[in-house]
Amino acid sequence: MTPELPPVMDEEQLAAVLDLPKVELHLHHEGAAPPEFIRRLGQEKSINLTGVFNPDGSYAFHDFAHFLSVYEAATQVLKTPEDYARLTTAVLEESAANGVIYCETFLSPDFCGGGDVGAWREYLHAIRDAADAAERAHGIVLRGIVTCIRHFGPYRAKAPALCAAETAGDWIVGFGMGGDETMGKQKDFAWPFDLAREAGLQLTTHAGEWRGPAEVRSAIEDLRVTRVGHGVRAIEDLALVDLIAERGIVLEVCPVSNVTLKVYPNMAAHPIEELRKRGVTVTVSTDDPPFFHTNMRREYHNLAKTFGWSAEQFSELARTSARAAFCNDETKSALLKRLETP
């Protein structure tokens, strides 16, 4: 049987789709730093960044483990609350230029003050001030999700969880975990996730990016998350896909990240469309945009070209993402209202 071809969108319709207002739920704050920004800060502080950049100035990495080590090397230049304020301004200018009107960003107290609650408060204050200024200038709304880092181990995850619990509220709205999924078990991190849940935070964790469906199941059952970072390898267990769909668990899918890091060989092989067709709530994000040479416009472009998603599907995607946001009801209603009127 010949496969069904996606309907063709003409260039004018595609341009209109790329201009649609967008909601992004999965973005790593340091991972969104433009390479020029990191290079400039490194020069100002005389920090040696050998190995971080390719000769053309882009970030240099050849696989996921290398990506994580380059990410951490680049992060060394971010040493003060002021550095994070500057980073926030740069990131939000870029996101707003790509039509993002609401964004949730992953913030790691391990990088912002080394896990000390007092220092974390100072970083957070600087980030929020910069975010408020960006909202006034560009209309983009930012909220934070505190993350622990899996390959630092469960013991070191306690400090970020405490930082999250101490600052939980209308701005820090969630707790999560990034880092190397091939190390340890989701279940080892139950304590930090329980603490964050009891502080009123909503939960997400990276799962099913590098390991298979069992990891996604464990994220849902052992950490009781309502959103999963990536989660795409759930497709390898259709009973799990049904459970994700029935429970309304939201997947934070980052297609270009997955293709760049070779989880899938190309966009056509990516399971986002299959997951969507099977009733899973999928959202679309960039993960670490300059590392993967992406942005939200590029994600939309690829989805339109590969799967033939229509303008109405992209509008519905933004509303679905807004409903899945961790922000309070007031912020969510205002966001949904902005998405009603093109």
Name the residues that contact ligand ADE, by CB under 6 A.
28, 31, 71, 178-179, 206, 209, 257, 287-288
How do 250-253 and 281-284 pair as beta strands? Answer: parallel
In this structure, which amino acid lies at residue 132? D
Smaller CB distance to Zn ion: residue 38 or 232? 232
CB-based closest residue to ligand ADE:
178
The least CB distance from residue 281 to ligand ADE, in Å, is: 20
Q: Which does 128 bind (CB under 5 to 8 A by kind): Zn ion, ligand ADE, none?
A: none
CA torsion, ordered 126, 328, 283, 19, to nearest 10 deg: -70
The least CB distance from residue 115 to ligand ADE, in Å, is: 17
Nearest C-alpha neighbor of 28 from the set 135, 145, 183: 145
The token pair that represents 12 in the structure block:
């004018």
* Residues assigned a catalytic role: 209
Distance CA 191, CA 174 (A): 15
The least CB distance from residue 11 to ligand ADE, in Å, is: 32
Smaller CB distance to ligand ADE: residue 41 or 254? 254
Q: Name residue 178's beta-bridge partners.
A: 149
Footprint on this chain of Zn ion (rule: CB under 5 A): 287
Q: Which does 22 bind (CB under 5 to 8 A by kind): ligand ADE, Zn ion, none?
A: none
Q: Which does 104 bind (CB under 5 to 8 A by kind): Zn ion, ligand ADE, none?
A: none
Smaller CB distance to ligand ADE: residue 28 or 143? 28
The least CB distance from residue 252 to Zn ion, in Å, is: 8
The token pair that represents 225 in the structure block:
């998350």
Q: Which does 31 bind (CB under 5 to 8 A by kind): Zn ion, ligand ADE, none?
A: ligand ADE
DSSP output for 153-212: -TGGGHHHHHHHHHHBTTTEEEEEEES-TTSS-GGGGHHHHHHHHHTT-EEEEEESSSS-
Smaller CB distance to Zn ion: residue 292 or 314? 292
